[in-house]
A and B are shown apart, each in its own frame.
Chain A
Amino acid sequence: MQVSSASRFLGMGGSVAPDSGYDARARMVISLLASIVTIIISSVEGQLMLLGASLLYALSIRRFKALTIAYLFVAFMMGLATLCTWGLSSVAPFVSFTFKGLAVPFMRGLVMLNVVLPLALTCRIQDLLTVLKGLCLPFCIYLPGAVMIRFIPTFMNDIKQIAEALQIRGYTLTLGGMFRHPLLVLRLLFTPLLFRSLRTSEELGIAAELKGLDAQSRFVPYRSPVWSRKDTLLVAAALTVIAAALACHYLLGRAPVAGHM
């Protein structure tokens, strides 16, 4: 059974997304492009185009439950932000409270959510390691990067075990206790993890030396990740959407938005 990276991290294991068949690099390229284009586009029309296309992309992984939870959380945060902005606008006249002024930043957030979720929920951690290899990075970047990805699930599990160990001892961690004794809470939760990290780095460092790894190591992949036609089409579709969104932005929505500073 192959459990997705983020779902395993976030303890959402269990149900697994159907294999999308897209290369992790294609999903990465889309995230990268989206993060740049959302900043450039400041018109509602352009953002709407990006939001629609990215939502379809997010729905394509068919992880409706995860998507709904993420949207509910973002909606809650947006609700809070709207309330605060409204409050501010009533005491500070230079802060405008308009639909457009709120909509564009919110849509930016949603677009990023839509492109990040498919990457996080469908790629296995091993896929990410393979992508890292495929980027042909120098050894000094590849090795710590690979170690980082390799040990994220291990440390997630460690944190769970540390919390359990406290429960077994008879500690009860409450929010009030965190305020009253922050240093004790930090010691209880953080000290074992810090020592564990140091010990792991020591053991793995020894393993690296014993495998004969060093900065002069020359990497020859024995198997390369497969970039298929499907991946090319996905990136091409993304580029088309971006071009359309930019066109919308420049042709339809270039008028300055109310509240622009």
Chain B
Amino acid sequence: MIRFVNVTYTYPFQEKPAVRGVDLHVRPGEFVLVTGESGCGKSTLMRLANGLCPQYFGGTLEGDVFVGGKSTGEMPLKDMSRMVGTLFQDPEQQFFALEVEEELAFVHEWRGTPAAETRRKIAEAAKEFLLEDLFGHSIHELSEGQKQKVGLASIFSQDPGALVLDEPTANLDPESTVELARRLDRLKKSGMAILVVDHRLYWLEDVADRVAVMREGVIVAQGAFDMLHDGALRSACGLRAAHVEDVRSTLPESAPPTKGPRAGEKGLRVDGLRFAYKGQAPLYDRASFWLGQGVTALIGGNGTGKTTLARLITGLNKAQEGAFRINGILFPVSEMLRHVGIVLQNSDHQLHMRTVAQEIDVCLALAERLRGWSKSRRSREEQRHFLLGLFDLEHLADRHPQSLSGGEKQRLVIACAFAKKPSILILDEPTSGLDGGNMKRIAKALSLLAEQGACVLVITHDLELLRASCGAAIRLPLNGN
């Protein structure tokens, strides 16, 4: 169905090809996983499969890419789109309508499909993906898993022969990831050719028929999923684990050293926390918890209020009641942000300056002002150098922050949060979309901060990060609710 024959592709304004000499075949009813470290060319492979390269991005293509037996060079994108469906990491960015039903109908309406036919297609897709109850819902109200289902249902309703997915699990919790694997398996069995590009591997152990590992634009290994159990291969290519143990239920509960608050205790103690969104039942009702030194995971299902809790601790959302003590000292909520660092998921919104180095410098200067430190220019330069090295950003110091890849931006915003030297740091999904090497780098940095006495709270669906760095867990819903 999708066939690459000795393909070499170079983006415009680039000298080095993004992929070189690729030979790959995805047959109908076959599932192929492509993996490799960030920047290895796997996303380019996906763009070649759906025709975006070179038809949208330009550049030069050598060799041939065939879809359904036809060369992609001979077909306009419009025709290609009927043969290959594509789903990206953030499906919401692909939606043109604001409600589920309208989104499913959108593409058919603009392809001139008769109304009755459109109704039949979206009814079938909704039935297959269990979306009937969500028809009137706004896309903004959907969970990441539901958005993914809407994106897949929209593609399914167009009846393509092949499906291409780019990092589909980056925003999904483990349960939604398992459900996605099950759905893709069904689609494969119905005869669809499926090409998935992803860093996370474990979820496809029972689904992928073949795996291609890429490095610097070349497929360096191709074979059955079992080859990913080879530690040397994974290490050489910056891959994540092929099998991951779920430690969510075995991590010890984060427990305070004494029952009541005590002067000099090291950590964050929150008592009597009360919060409800306007017009809704309380999310926290006289809840208490303890965050001690070390790396702690915040664990809970969708909608249990993990991000809300992080926002309450920092005062971004105002708690209706609650006592916040850091190291035994009571602080008003309005003071919390002076002591607590938080890294939210939206790295795009947090980068303002012209270069990566400037971004870090500004954060160091702000931290000095906030804490009343006075540091020499040399000391600041040393700090910057240390942070750039810790997050492997040295070679990017002069690049514009907004021109970095998603993973590089993620590392930069974490480096900026480290610049504040917070005694408490909260991170919301710090490793989504990162390859094995960078995931380990973040885990190491968090452990380093914890060793220096900080309390680190991690909100994550990433089972590998949980296993690599977390020593305790706070589980939602909290006691007292």
Chain B residues in 8 Å Cβ range of A129: 97-98, 102
Q: Are B109 and A165 in contact (CB under 8 A)?
A: no
CB distance from A152 to the nearest CB of B (A): 10
CB-contact partner of A170 in B77, B96, B369, under 8 A: B369
Q: Are A165 and B350 in contact (CB under 8 A)?
A: yes
CB distance from B105 to the nearest CB of A (A): 5
Bitwise, A59-80 to B at CB < 8 A (1) or not (0) is 0000000000000000000000
Chain B residues in 8 Å Cβ range of A204: 93-94, 96
CB distance from A148 to the nearest CB of B (A): 11
* Interchain CA distance A125-B118 in the complex, whole Å: 22
Chain A residues in 8 Å Cβ range of B95: 150, 207
Q: Are A207 and B314 in contact (CB under 8 A)?
A: no
Q: Which residue of A lies closest to B350 (CB)?
A: A165
Bitwise, B77-110 to A at CB < 8 A (1) or not (0) is 1110110001010100111111100100111111
* Interchain CA distance A157-B86 in the complex, whole Å: 27
Chain A residues in 8 Å Cβ range of B463: none
Q: Are B278 and A219 in contact (CB under 8 A)?
A: no
Chain A residues in 8 Å Cβ range of B109: 133, 219-222
Most B CB within 10 A of own CB, among A146, A192, A199: A192
CB distance from B81 to the nearest CB of A (A): 4
* Interface status of A217 (Cβ within 8 A of chain B): yes
Selecting from B256-264, B340-348, B447-455, the interface stretch reads: B340-348
Q: Are B118 and A222 in contact (CB under 8 A)?
A: yes
CB distance from A202 to the nearest CB of B (A): 10
Most A CB within 10 A of own CB, among B111, B316, B344, B348: B348
CB-contact partner of B111 in A125, A210, A212, under 8 A: A212
Q: Are A220 and B102 in contact (CB under 8 A)?
A: no
Q: Are A192 and B52 in contact (CB under 8 A)?
A: no
* Interface status of A161 (Cβ within 8 A of chain B): yes
* Interchain CA distance A167-B316 in the complex, whole Å: 9
Q: Are B115 and A222 in contact (CB under 8 A)?
A: yes
Size range of the chain A interface in the assembly: 35 or more
Chain B residues in 8 Å Cβ range of A192: 348-352
CB-contact partner of B97 in A14, A126, A200, under 8 A: A126
* Interface status of B140 (Cβ within 8 A of chain A): yes
Chain A residues in 8 Å Cβ range of B114: 220
* Interchain CA distance A142-B257 in the complex, whole Å: 62
* Interface status of B186 (Cβ within 8 A of chain A): no
Q: Which residue of A lies closest to B279 (CB)?
A: A14
Q: Are B52 and A168 in contact (CB under 8 A)?
A: no
* Interchain CA distance A217-B107 in the complex, whole Å: 10
* Interface status of A196 (Cβ within 8 A of chain B): yes
* Interchain CA distance A196-B420 in the complex, whole Å: 25
* Interface status of B219 (Cβ within 8 A of chain A): no
* Interface status of A99 (Cβ within 8 A of chain B): no
Chain A residues in 8 Å Cβ range of B346: 161, 165
Chain B residues within 8 Å of chain A by Cβ, number = 60
Chain B residues in 8 Å Cβ range of A203: 88, 90, 93-94
Q: Which chain A residues (138-155) contact chain B, with CB distance < 8 Å?
A: 139, 146-147, 150, 153
Q: Are A126 and B416 in contact (CB under 8 A)?
A: no
* Interchain CA distance A217-B109 in the complex, whole Å: 9
Q: Are A223 and B105 in contact (CB under 8 A)?
A: yes
Most B CB within 10 A of own CB, among A139, A146, A195, A214: A195
Chain B residues in 8 Å Cβ range of A208: 96
CB distance from A29 to the nearest CB of B (A): 23
Q: Are B348 and A199 in contact (CB under 8 A)?
A: yes
CB-contact partner of B420 in A13, A170, A207, under 8 A: A170
* Interchain CA distance A3-B118 in the complex, whole Å: 27
Q: Which chain B residues (117-131) contact chain A, with CB distance < 8 Å?
A: 118-119, 122
Q: Are B118 and A209 in contact (CB under 8 A)?
A: no
* Interface status of B143 (Cβ within 8 A of chain A): no
Q: Which chain B residues (374-398) contact chain A, with CB distance < 8 Å?
A: none
Q: Which residue of A lies closest to B119 (CB)?
A: A222
* Interchain CA distance A158-B119 in the complex, whole Å: 34
Chain A residues in 8 Å Cβ range of B79: 212
CB-contact partner of A213 in B93, B110, B118, under 8 A: B110
Q: Are B108 and A162 in contact (CB under 8 A)?
A: no
CB distance from A227 to the nearest CB of B (A): 17
Q: Are B367 and A170 in contact (CB under 8 A)?
A: yes
Most A CB within 10 A of own CB, among B55, B77, B118: B77
CB-contact partner of A209 in B77, B108, B122, B337, under 8 A: B77
* Interface status of A206 (Cβ within 8 A of chain B): yes
Q: Which chain A residues (245-261) contact chain B, with CB distance < 8 Å?
A: none
* Interchain CA distance A219-B350 in the complex, whole Å: 40
Most B CB within 10 A of own CB, among A133, A162, A207: A207
* Interface status of B222 (Cβ within 8 A of chain A): no
* Interchain CA distance A191-B403 in the complex, whole Å: 13
Q: Are B96 and A147 in contact (CB under 8 A)?
A: yes
Q: Which residue of A lies closest to B117 (CB)?
A: A222
* Interchain CA distance A203-B43 in the complex, whole Å: 14
Chain A residues in 8 Å Cβ range of B348: 192, 195-196, 199
Q: Are B344 and A164 in contact (CB under 8 A)?
A: yes
Q: Are A209 and B52 in contact (CB under 8 A)?
A: yes
Q: Are A150 and B98 in contact (CB under 8 A)?
A: yes
Chain B residues in 8 Å Cβ range of A187: 352-353
CB-contact partner of A220 in B115, B279, B350, under 8 A: B115
CB distance from B165 to the nearest CB of A (A): 13
Chain B residues in 8 Å Cβ range of A229: none
* Interchain CA distance A146-B366 in the complex, whole Å: 41
* Interchain CA distance A83-B353 in the complex, whole Å: 45
* Interface status of A218 (Cβ within 8 A of chain B): yes
* Interface status of B468 (Cβ within 8 A of chain A): no
Chain A residues in 8 Å Cβ range of B279: 14
Q: Are A153 and B140 in contact (CB under 8 A)?
A: yes
Q: Are B349 and A161 in contact (CB under 8 A)?
A: yes
* Interface status of B363 (Cβ within 8 A of chain A): yes
Q: Which residue of B lies closest to A200 (CB)?
A: B93
Q: Which chain A residues (158-207) contact chain B, with CB distance < 8 Å?
A: 158, 161-162, 164-165, 167-171, 187-188, 191-192, 195-196, 199-200, 203-207
Supposing A126-B102, A150-B98, A212-B107 touch, asked if A164 and B352 sit within 8 A by C-beta, the answer is: no
10 A-B pairs in the complex with CB atoms less than 8 angstroms apart: A158-B349, A165-B349, A170-B420, A188-B352, A203-B88, A204-B96, A209-B52, A209-B56, A209-B77, A222-B105
Listed from nearest, the 10 A-B pairs whose CB atoms lie closest are: A218-B112, A222-B118, A212-B81, A207-B94, A170-B366, A212-B78, A195-B402, A165-B350, A222-B115, A203-B93
Not counting A170-B369, A211-B107, A212-B77, a sample of 4 additional A-B residue pairs whose C-beta atoms are within 8 angstroms of each other reads: A210-B77, A219-B110, A220-B112, A221-B115
